[in-house]
Amino acid sequence: MRPNGRHTAGASQLPALRVWAICLLLLSAVAITPSTAKAAPSQAAVQTTHVYLLRGVLNIFSLGLDTIGARLQAQGIPVTVANFVSWSSLADEAATAYKAGRIKTIILVGHSSGATALPDMIAKLNQLGVPVKLAIGLDSVFKTKLSTGAERYINIYIGDGPGEPVRAAAGLRGKLDNVDVRGTGVGHISIDKNEAIQRRVIAEIDAAIMRSRAPAAPVAEPGAPRPARAAAATAPARN
C-alpha cells in the first residue's frame, strides 16, 4: 500500500531540511562566537626585549616573580630574576647589551624592596644613556621619589598596608601611575603571587613590547639641562 502523497513529499524533504538546518547552525555559531585571537608582539620585538625582575629581602618572599618570569619565557621573552641587591650590576649588564644592540627594550619589575630599588636602577640606566620602556613596582615598602623616568612607571601598592605611593620629582619625564589595590584581598607577601596582579603585569609588558616599535624617548646625557615635563604623574588611584 502506497503512503499518500503528502507523507511521501514530507519524507523526501527531510534530508534537505537537515542539511539546511546544519548549515544555519554552523553559520550562527560563526556569527556569535567571539574571536579569541589577540595581537601579539612580533618575534623580533620579543627577542630584543629583556625583562629584569627584582625580588625583595632574603630572596624568599617574592617567588611570584619567578612565576611571572616563567610565563614570560613561555612567550619567548628573555628574563633575568635576581635579588634587589643586584640592581646596580644588572643596570651595567643591561646598558652593555643595549649599546651592543642585543637589547632594544628594557623592562623592570620589582616586588617589595625590589620595587623600592627600581627608581635607582632607572636613574643609573638613564645616566648611562639607556632608556627604560616600562617599570612596574609591586608594593614598594619605603617612600620613593622618581626623579628620572621610564617611559611608563606603574606602582601597584596596598594603600592600607606597608606599601607606599611613588612621588614624582620636579621635571620628571615619562608617565607615573600609582595604583592602590587596597580592599582586593591581596597582602604585601601575596601581591606578587596574586593571579590577577600577575595577569596585569604580563599584559602591561606585552603592551610595552608592542609599543617598542615606536622610537624610545631620548635620554638626556648626565649633567644636561632637563627638558620641560612631558607628562604629569597621575594621582594615586583609590578604591
Q: What is the pLDDT of residue 102?
A: 95
Kindly state the cell numbers that stand for 236. 594615586
CB-CB neighbours of 238 under 10 Å: 10
For residue 34, tell me if it sits in a domain.
no
For residue 2, tell me if it sits in a domain.
no
Domain of residue 189, CATH code = 3.40.50.1820
CB-CB neighbours of 141 under 10 Å: 19
For residue 169, tell me if it sits in a domain.
yes
Q: What is the pLDDT of residue 3?
A: 45
For residue 50, tell me if it sits in a domain.
yes
Sort 90 into a burial class: Cβ within 10 Å, 0-12 / 13-18 / 19+. buried
Q: What is the pLDDT of residue 16?
A: 54
For residue 12, tell me if it sits in a domain.
no
For residue 131, tell me if it sits in a domain.
yes
Q: What is the pLDDT of residue 205?
A: 97
Q: What is the pLDDT of residue 82?
A: 97
For residue 38, tell me if it sits in a domain.
no
Give the model confidence (pLDDT) of 194-238 as tens digits.
999 999 999 999 999 998 765 455 454 444 444 443 333 333 343
The stretches in the chain having pLDDT less than 50 are: 1-12, 19, 21-38, 215, 218, 220-239
> Apex CA 46: angle with CA 40 and CA 48, to 5°?
155
- Residue from 121, 141, 139, 143 nearest 130 by CA: 121
> What is the total count of domains within the chain?
1
Contact, 178 vs 155, CB < 8 A?
A: yes
User: Could you tell me the CA-to-CA distances from 55 to 28, 138, 164 in Å, in that order?
Assistant: 50, 10, 17
**pTM to 2 decimals?**
0.73
Q: What is the pLDDT of residue 232?
A: 36
For residue 232, tell me if it sits in a domain.
no
Q: What is the pLDDT of residue 18?
A: 56
Q: Which residue range is the domain that position 165 belongs to?
A: 43-211
